Amino acid sequence: MEVFLRGYSALGPYVPVFLFIVVAVTFGIVTLFIAKLVRPHRPYPEKLSPYECGVPPLMEARERFFIRFYIIAILFVLFDVEAAFLYPWAVLYGKLGLYGFIEMMIFIGILLVGYFYAWRKGALDWVKEG
Amino acid sequence: MSAEVPLSYYLILGALLFIIGAVGVLTRRHALVILMSIELMLNAVNITLVAFSRMQGNLTGQVFSLFIIAVAAAEAAVGLAIVIVLFNSRETLNIDEINLMKW
Amino acid sequence: MEQFFFFLFAAGAVISALLVISRRNVMHCALFLVLTFFFVAAIFVLLKAEFLAAVQVLVYAGAIMVLFTFVIFLVHIPRTEKIRQTFRQKNLALALGLLLGLEVAYILYGTMAAPASLPAAAPVGAVGNTESFGVALFTRFLFPFEVVSVLLLAAMIGAIVLAKKEIDR
């Protein structure tokens, strides 16, 4: 193990991350596989049908999602990108000073216009008013 | 001990992913899968840009990769909104059936 | 050692990308796309672009794929009338893929002869990738950076206008 790490100087800090991912994935796969070996498998139609409080299923399980979720998801994606731009700014904040502050305020200000637009249009209201 | 990976390997990887994305756009019929293939192509371009940035020794390529990621997010948001509107008016996502400019 | 990791991640990325364009179930496509994004993020780490790797996971695998999954649930297609996938335009796509491959091979032919080895000392020395990245972003690329916010604003308004129409219906 030590030899493995020493020969790998450039990306050394990432080796534990890589090992962590490998172990996590292997653990999941191995657990599922062992469970498949051990558990009994005797299916019949009633057992395979989805459980809906004991009554026979009425309609298909994949109901259509509410479209309001989608608007929330859009806002999440776009503000997530904004957050990605904020990280290097936060790291550099001390060096950039007032200049960097004004830069970022313009950036956030322009995006806030979109946020208020969504708010005014009622895209954020869960239940439509009136 | 740690043999460096030549630049051309990264470029070949980017080209392979780009070709896979292009073939996906051409062959698939599902509108969502076509959008996913476009994301694949954008990612391939990102790999190429970052590889060149590493070779040039400056960060221009990386900064432009970040811009590409932002563009991809914007594209996904609008493209998927169009897909939803399309589905609600045509009840299908098969792009062979979506062949009218106006409905 | 670095080559081993490169081939591992590259093979993973290519295989999962192939699965993205060949699976029938859209949900499987989306999940394999997430896997591809993770492998690409690993490639970014190999290229010493740690910040971009983090953004790749945060924005692509985290946010954009959430959006895709939402839409897959939103567009509810009954099981009986799934889109039949017969890989139309297969010949055209194969020809185009081959053409692209040949083009890349031609361009790389010269560089392969004298392999341009990447500079061992990356631009990111002691300061760290995120910090030097920020310096480039906030000084040289200030204007594109502000334009990105306008682009995001346009995307936000466009998507809300489109989705709002569906809510009001």
- What pLDDT score was predicted for residue A3? 45
Give, as one character, the DSSP assignment of residue C56: I
Indicate the pLDDT class of residue C121, thresholds 50, 70 and 90.
very low
Indicate the pLDDT class of residue A58, thresholds 50, 70 and 90.
low
In a domain, B97, yes or no: no
Using a CB–CB cutoff of 8 Å, tell me whether C59 touches chain B. yes
Cβ within 8 Å of residue C132, ≥6 positions away: B59, C123, C124
Supply the Cα-derived Rg of chain C in whole angstroms: 21
- What pLDDT score was predicted for residue A29? 94
Give, as one character, the DSSP assignment of residue B91: S
Task: Check CB contact under 8 Å for B17 and C101.
Answer: no
In a domain, B33, yes or no: yes
- What pLDDT score was predicted for residue C80? 45
Chain C residue with minimum CA distance to B74? C155
Which B residues in the span 21-80 are in contact with C, Cβ-Cβ below 8 Å?
21-24, 26-30, 32-33, 35-37, 39-40, 43, 46-47, 50-51, 53-55, 57-60, 62-63, 65-67, 69-78, 80
What's the sign of the alpha-carbon dihedral B57, B60, B62, B65?
A: negative
- What pLDDT score was predicted for residue A54? 66
- What pLDDT score was predicted for residue C89? 72
Using a CB–CB cutoff of 8 Å, tell me whether A39 touches chain C. no
User: If 0-12 CB within 10 Å is exposed, 13-18 middle and 19+ buried, where does residue B84 land?
Assistant: buried
Q: How is chain C split into domains, by residue range?
A: 1-79, 124-169
Using a CB–CB cutoff of 8 Å, tell me whether A72 touches chain C. no
- What pLDDT score was predicted for residue A2? 47
Indicate the pLDDT class of residue C126, thresholds 50, 70 and 90.
very low
In a domain, B45, yes or no: yes
Helices (H), chain A: 2-6, 14-38, 45-48, 68-120
Task: Check CB contact under 8 Å for C75 and B74.
Answer: no
Measure the CA–CA gap between C18 and C98, rounded to whole angstroms.
15
Contacts of C29 in chain B (CB under 8 A): 32-33, 36
- What pLDDT score was predicted for residue A55? 67
Q: Which of A10, C116, C10 is nearest to B7 (CA)?
A: C116
In a domain, B102, yes or no: no
Using a CB–CB cutoff of 8 Å, tell me whether C132 touches chain B. yes
CA B79 centroid distance within chain: 13
Measure the CA–CA gap between B14 and B48, rounded to whole angstroms.
6
Which tens digit of pLDDT belongs to each residue from B3-60?
Answer: 577 888 888 899 889 989 988 888 888 888 899 999 999 999 999 999 988 888 788 8
Give, as one character, the DSSP assignment of residue C78: -
pLDDT at C166 over 80: no
- What pLDDT score was predicted for residue A41? 82
How far is the CA of C129 from the CAs of A88, A108, C48, C49, in angstroms? 9, 23, 8, 7
Which tens digit of pLDDT belongs to each residue from C71-106?
Answer: 888 776 655 455 555 566 777 878 888 888 888 788
> What pTM value is reported for the model?
0.84
Which CATH architecture does the domain made up of C1-79 adopt? Up-down Bundle (1.20)
CA C107 centroid distance within chain: 23
Query: What's the rounded mean pLDDT across residues C130-134?
Result: 82
Minimal CA separation from C140 to chain B, in Å: 9
Task: Check CB contact under 8 Å for A78 and B74.
Answer: yes
Chain A residue with minimum CA distance to C70? A70
Q: Which of C148, C130, C13, C142 is nearest to B68 (CA)?
A: C148
The structure tokens listed for A105 are 């305020």
Q: Which of B32, B66, B67, B78 to mutate to test the interface with A (most CBs of A within 10 A)?
A: B66
In this structure, of A4-8, A12-16, A22-26, the range with the lowest mean pLDDT score is A4-8
How far is the CA of C83 from the CAs of B34, B95, B96, C74, C159, in angstroms? 13, 10, 10, 16, 26
In a domain, B27, yes or no: yes
CATH code at B53?
Answer: 1.10.287.3510
How far is the CA of C133 from the CAs of A85, A87, B57, C124, C163, in angstroms? 11, 10, 12, 9, 36
The structure tokens listed for B70 are 């932002």
- Crossing angle for the helix pair C65-74 and C26-46, nearest 10 degrees? 180
Cβ within 8 Å of residue B14, ≥6 positions away: B44, B45, B47, B48, B51
User: By the 8 A CB rule, do B5 and C118 touch?
Assistant: yes
- What pLDDT score was predicted for residue B58? 81
Which tens digit of pLDDT belongs to each residue from C7-18?
Answer: 999 999 999 999
Using a CB–CB cutoff of 8 Å, tell me whether B97 touches chain C. no
Task: Check CB contact under 8 Å for C134 and A78.
Answer: no
Give DSSP secondary structure letters for C56-99: IIIIIIIIIHHHHHHHHHHS---GGGPPP---TTHHHHHHHHHH
- Mean pLDDT, chain C, rounded, equals 80
In a domain, B35, yes or no: yes
pLDDT at A16 over 50: yes
Question: For chain B, what is the domain count?
Answer: 1
- What pLDDT score was predicted for residue A5? 46
Which tens digit of pLDDT belongs to each residue from C47-71?
Answer: 888 889 999 999 988 889 888 888 8
Query: What's the rounded mean pLDDT across residues C152-156?
Result: 92
In a domain, B103, yes or no: no
Query: What's the rounded mean pLDDT across residues A43-65?
Result: 66
The structure tokens listed for C107 are 């361009």
Measure the CA–CA gap between B1 and C83, rounded to whole angstroms.
51
Task: Check CB contact under 8 Å for A85 and C130.
Answer: no
pLDDT at B1 over 80: no
A32/A61: higher pLDDT: A32
Minimal CA separation from C1 to chain B, in Å: 5
Which tens digit of pLDDT belongs to each residue from A84-121?
Answer: 999 989 888 888 888 889 989 999 999 999 889 988 88
- What pLDDT score was predicted for residue A123? 73
- Nearest CB to A80 within list C48, C51, C59: C59
Measure the CA–CA gap between B1 and A39, rounded to whole angstroms.
47
Which tens digit of pLDDT belongs to each residue from C102-120?
Answer: 887 887 776 655 555 555 4
Contacts of B95 in chain C (CB under 8 A): none
The structure tokens listed for B72 are 């991809």
- What pLDDT score was predicted for residue A8? 47
* Residue B85 belongs to domain spanning: 7-90
In a domain, B75, yes or no: yes
Q: Please state, for a pLDDT cut of 70, what percent of chain A lies above it.
A: 75
Measure the CA–CA gap between A60 and C34, rounded to whole angstroms.
27
Other beta carbons within 10 Å of C77: 17
